[in-house]
Structure 1
Amino acid sequence: MTVPIAIIGAGIAGLSAARALHKAGHTVHLFDKSRGSGGRMSSKRSEAGSLDLGAQYFTARDRRFVDEVQQWQALGWVAEWEPRLYNHKDGQLTPSPDEQTRWVGSPRMSAITRGMLGHLTINFACRITDLIRGEKHWHLLDADECSHGPFSHVIVATPAPQATALLAGAPKLASTAAGVKMDPTWAVALAFETPLETKMDGCFVQDSPLDWLARNSSKPGREHKPDTWVLHASSAWSKQNLDLPKEAVIEQLHGAFAELMHFPTPAPIFSLAHRWLYARPSTAHEWGALADADLGLYACGDWCLSGRVEGAWLSGQEAARRLIEHLQ
């Protein structure tokens, strides 16, 4: 009987590692504390339609990731988003054209991780709290004190602060993860009955509580009615207002949005706020992935590289590569 490999976290990094291992003939078993896959690539279903509250789009620069995204496109999981982009600085709105290809999941961001998951084995709504190393194998303990295992190797694919606790059995890896600072982001979605009279589909914002805003309904595959917008607060504002009640967050960010629009915005017919506690690493790293091959313990995530979707995917590939190499 083959002993499977456990992967904790079903975001892009965990699923990237899972697919690479599965392709190489290994059995994998995923665990995720959420009710669905995707992590910060997930979408929120709401009465205003599907909303991308986390990653807004992604780009592909590394050749390996470019090839992967082309496969996703062929499978219908992603589509190119060609937004009319603006910059907002010193109270001025200016067009921000560039040549970058921006990709989004289609018909929603979570289509990518749902596609990647395919028929792989996963336990959703299962928060792993401890990794226990036996003589030869690992066992995983969840928040309900249920034990899962045995597993030959474990890949931790969660944000660095959560990974730190799980990597306690490998102090070197744990201390590396503990040194990674991750910034929070408050996200707010607003829906308007009639489309706002602006050409803008996306905007990079400076000198404001906001950092970014996007017309969610301008993305391919999204519902066009109502007119939905997603606002991301800056890291600095999010840190200062980390424990602000959601109603107050909506009120303040809606206020900043209305101010930026330079025309009276109607009251939204729908609003919601979501706090991403670990939205992105504060700085980029070049580890690729972390590994203690003797213990059979690995870690990956966007925090091991660039903080981008591409970084998460490449980190998962690297963790799988190192694990496979060790087994040969």
Structure 2
Amino acid sequence: MSTPIAIIGTGMAGLSAGQALVEAGLEVRFFEKSRGSGGRMASKRSDVGSLDLGAQYFTARDRRFADAVQQWRDRGWVAPWKPSLYQWSAGGLSPSADEQVRWVGTPRMSAVSRALLGALPVEFSCRITEVFRGDQYWHLQDAEGRSHGPFSHVIIATPAPQAANLLAAAPKLASVAAGVTMEPTWSVALGFEQPLDTPLEGCFVQDSPLDWIARTGSKPGRESRPDSWVLHASNDWTRHNLDLPKEQVIEALHGTFAELIGCVVPSPSFALAHRWLYARPGGPHQWGALADGDRGLYACGDWCSSGRVEGAWLSGQEAARRLVSYLQ
């Protein structure tokens, strides 16, 4: 029996790498600090149905990713989302003409990660704090002091600041990851008993505490009642209000939403807030993935590429390709 490969993180990058390695005939084992897979593509169950609090949709520009997305569509994991799209700038709303195809998981964003993970071995609620090498193999230590291993290789598929800490055994890679800036985002969900009187289903927002607005019920497979909305604060507003209590975040962003939506907005019957400390990289990079083949240590994530869902998937594929190539 072969020694498995450890993959830390079950977001899109980690799952992409794992899928590619399994297709190459290798054994993998996942570790995830959260209770479910998906990372920023995770969905949250709530009193108003499932909510996509992180990634709202994704696009497919690279041919390889477009082919993968088409396979996901054929399997019923994703569907195109064609919202009534607007933009808000200079104090006013206007339609946003856009031919771009936007994809969402069905019936929730996390459907993609759950399908990709399938029956592969994973330990949820297991936060890895250290990656260390013995005489021959890699071992992991979690926050509870437990040791996991042995592993022939390790792929770290976490946000850059977390990856930098776990890459201590490869200082050059750790230095690269430590130099990546990740932007935070406050996400707020609001539910209303009566549908808001607006045709708007998605909106890009400029020069405002908000950055994005989406009507959950407009996405394929979602429940339409009650009328639920997801608001993303801008990175700049989030940085300045990073430690604001959730109740105050909800109040501030609800107020901004009410001012720009163009219709009467009552008090919500449901509200929650979630803070993404590492929502997106501060800028694109061209590494694809980080690799130390001699040590058997790799890192991948959207921060190694374009910063999008597509970038995360491509980065995972690249990490797997480099690992497999080193073995050949």
TM-score (structure 2 length as normaliser): 0.99
Give the structure 1 partner of residue 57 of structure 2: 57
Equivalent residue letter for 2:319: A
Q: Whole-Å Cα distance in 2 between the matches of residues 207 and 149 of structure 1? A: 49
Q: Whole-Å Cα distance in 1 between the matches of residues 211 and 298 of structure 2? A: 33
Equivalent residue letter for 1:221: G
Give the superposition deviation at 1:197. Answer: 0.5
Alpha-carbon displacement from aligned partner over 1:189-210 (angstroms, at most 9, x marks no partner): 0000011000000000012100
| Alpha carbons 2:185, 2:279 under 8 Å: kept | yes
Q: Whole-Å Cα distance in 1 between the matches of residues 312 and 207 of structure 2? A: 29
Instruction: Give the alignment of 1:146-225 within 5 angstroms.
Output: 146-225=146-225
Structure 1 unaligned segments of length 5 or more: list them.
none
Q: Whole-Å Cα distance in 2 between the matches of residues 263 and 290 of structure 1? A: 48
Percent of residue pairs bearing the same amino acid type: 70
Q: Whole-Å Cα distance in 2 between the matches of residues 137 and 2 of structure 1? A: 12
Give the superposition deviation at 1:261. Answer: 1.6
Alpha-carbon displacement from aligned partner over 1:79-101 (angstroms, at most 9, x marks no partner): 00000100101111110011100
Comparing 308-317 with 86-95, which one deviates more in the overlay?
Answer: 86-95
Q: Whole-Å Cα distance in 2 between the matches of residues 111 and 293 of structure 1? A: 33
Equivalent residue letter for 1:118: G
Q: Whole-Å Cα distance in 2 between the matches of residues 255 and 39 of structure 1? A: 29
| Alpha carbons 2:52, 2:108 under 8 Å: kept | yes
1:323 aligns with 2:323: yes
Give the structure 2 partner of residue 257 of structure 1: 257
Q: Whole-Å Cα distance in 1 between the matches of residues 261 and 31 of structure 2? A: 42
Comparing 314-323 with 84-93, which one deviates more in the overlay?
Answer: 84-93
Equivalent residue letter for 2:153: H
Instruction: Give the alignment of 1:1-328 within 5 angstroms.
Output: 1-328=1-328
Equivalent residue letter for 1:9: G
Give the superposition deviation at 1:262. Answer: 2.7
| Alpha carbons 1:84, 1:97 under 8 Å: kept | no
Equivalent residue letter for 1:182: M
SS of equivalent to 1:76: coil
Q: Whole-Å Cα distance in 1 between the matches of residues 28 and 261 of structure 2? A: 48
| Alpha carbons 2:197, 2:264 under 8 Å: kept | no
Alpha-carbon displacement from aligned partner over 1:235-282 (angstroms, at most 9, x marks no partner): 000000000000000000000000002332111110000000000000
Q: Which runs of 4+ in 1 moved over 3 A?
A: none
Q: Whole-Å Cα distance in 1 between the matches of residues 195 and 263 of structure 2? A: 13
Q: Whole-Å Cα distance in 2 between the matches of residues 294 and 169 of structure 1? A: 12
